[in-house]
Chains A and B, each alone.
Chain A
């Protein structure tokens, strides 16, 4: 399946902002994060198509996956 993966804040360092990527069917959000060399403990929020998702969730073809570190403000 082809996904649009978006990274934010310092997850972009030495990686990318946004990239089209292919993964085998059934790949979980968690597997994608690990494949990018991101420490799971640093992950704050993940969203698929602008909706919050679990690390165990499996995206579908053409989904957009956004991965954020723990951030805050206000």
Chain B
């Protein structure tokens, strides 16, 4: 059966199943969410109003046996940045939606009666809308628990926590993973968009049906090659052992680890929060150093981190979160970090935006740098409960900066800058400035080439070549984000000549088409231009593609460098 568009109108509580328009047939994941948003959403609309739409789409290969293909894309106009937004995560939902033949789920409109909450249930036949009371106000973990009891352990769940219900701009969308824990589409406040539509959760019926492959034999051959390229890559091995947090020490060593609200490039407590220390702690407490966020991942960068007593505390404990709570807020205690990570997952908060907001609040004197216990208290007692201070923090770093009159506010287009200082790693500064979605390292991960020596080498302190590096990576990433693939396949794709052709062969075998590498690059370019076009129509210009001025004025130790790439060079990013 052909894939369909499932459409839900929350204004009149109606649902429809539609054929996929021809122009969307070759799209999936980010390519599809961004195309739908650009086609159907008024660019100048109020992100929390009835004209915005939440679009949820599995990738082109999601639901197939392809390794690492279970990422789900969520897209909308972002209430945090005002730009177009796509955030993707693992969990079980992408594969389940794909198996039900859902090309995309579009949630539009908004109920007039704001007093009621709803849930959506997705089956092969369509979507049912029900009024919901039981889980309203609950955290994500309790919500998943109730739904597992109500609908069975195998049900897929996409949900928002209290942060999304309160429409905070740092609210994420959480996706149930195979262990009934959570993976998050973190950035840009998409949880607030879901909350504005009064949808607390989306449940997905389990199916034993499989995605139809046009050429199963060719698919199998390509998948074998692809998985081998991933497994053989040495970086995959390090990711399995140490998680993404293996980066703390190397970024610190390079002098690009933003510390104490972006005032230094190295953190004295780096060793205590490093991937190496985390690995030893996990092993000593009987946790799991390697773990996957969805079935079929062969890299397994996730982990299970236990508390001192050996009980489960958190998983998917990522470098960027650990950096933000650790170096940026100067908390050198992994247990405080794990507690905060778990709280943010439960409340449904972006674990980059929120701790960066805390870093700004620490600079303002709201709490002290290094005070992990107070940070956890504020999350629990203020943010989760929606007190005035909690809402200021839950609306992100820019919100805290404005309210407390702080000028050192590390955001681009309103979104917090993550774990790599653009003064000491200049390529990533280009990505932050030009990304269609505000500061986001994943949009064009120049760290690979600037620091890790993947896909070549480019001096992180040099101005030369950074625009081109960021552009090429942003184009490739837009394409990969459309396949349902986890971005960590890129490490193999950049350095192993068999990886990308195998990926393209799988797409061809899935759909019975004959894409070439050039087609894939062109897809990436088209997606970027579509997203950029939306932003321009929403009122953004090249003047918004800039880093905050303190980066040009405050040198960062140890290299004592400032952001010095010219505006003209930044603007040349879009010359393609």
A residues in contact (CB < 8 Å) with B: 6, 8-10, 12, 17, 42, 44-45, 47, 50-52, 66, 68-74
Contact = CB atoms under 8 A, between A and B. Distances in A.
Q: Is the interface of A mostly helix, strand, loop or mixed?
A: mixed
| Most A CB within 10 A of own CB, among B242, B243, B245, B320 | B242
B234 A9 contact: no
Interface residues on chain B, size class: 35 or more
Contacts of A12: 276
B234 A47 contact: no
Contact of B238 (A17, A47, A69): A69
Given A9-B276, A42-B234, A52-B459, A47 B254 contact: yes
Given A6-B253, A12-B276, A70 B247 contact: no
Nearest to B256: A50
Interface in B238-270: 238-239, 241-247, 249-250, 253-255
Nearest to A64: B253
Nearest to B318: A73
17 contacts: A9-B275, A44-B234, A44-B452, A50-B254, A50-B558, A51-B461, A52-B457, A52-B460, A69-B238, A70-B235, A70-B452, A71-B235, A71-B246, A71-B250, A72-B452, A74-B445, A74-B488
Contacts of A71: 235, 238-239, 242, 246-247, 250, 452
A74 B244 contact: yes
B359 to A, nearest CB: 20
Contacts of B570: none
A8 B488 contact: no
B437 interface: no
Q: What are the 8 closest A-B residue pairs judged by CB atoms, nearest first?
A: A73-B244, A72-B235, A70-B234, A73-B247, A71-B238, A72-B491, A50-B255, A71-B246
A45 B451 contact: yes
B441 A74 contact: yes
B433 interface: no
Given A72-B454, A73-B246, A74-B488, A9 B241 contact: yes
Interface string B214-236: 00000000000000000000110
Contacts of B558: 50
A7 to B, nearest CB: 10
B565 interface: no
A13 B451 CA distance: 23
A48 to B, nearest CB: 11
B234 to A, nearest CB: 4
Contact of B559 (A8, A9, A50, A72): A50
Contact of A47 (B241, B245, B253): B253
Contacts of A9: 238, 241-242, 246, 275-276
A44 B239 contact: no
Contacts of B441: 74
Contacts of A74: 244, 247, 319-320, 441-442, 445, 447-448, 487-488
| Most B CB within 10 A of own CB, among A44, A47, A68, A73 | A73
B19 interface: no
B389 to A, nearest CB: 32
Contacts of B241: 9-10
B29 to A, nearest CB: 18
A6 B275 CA distance: 15
Given A70-B454, A74-B447, 14 more contacts: A44-B452, A44-B453, A45-B250, A50-B254, A50-B558, A52-B451, A69-B234, A70-B234, A72-B247, A73-B243, A73-B301, A73-B319, A73-B488, A74-B320
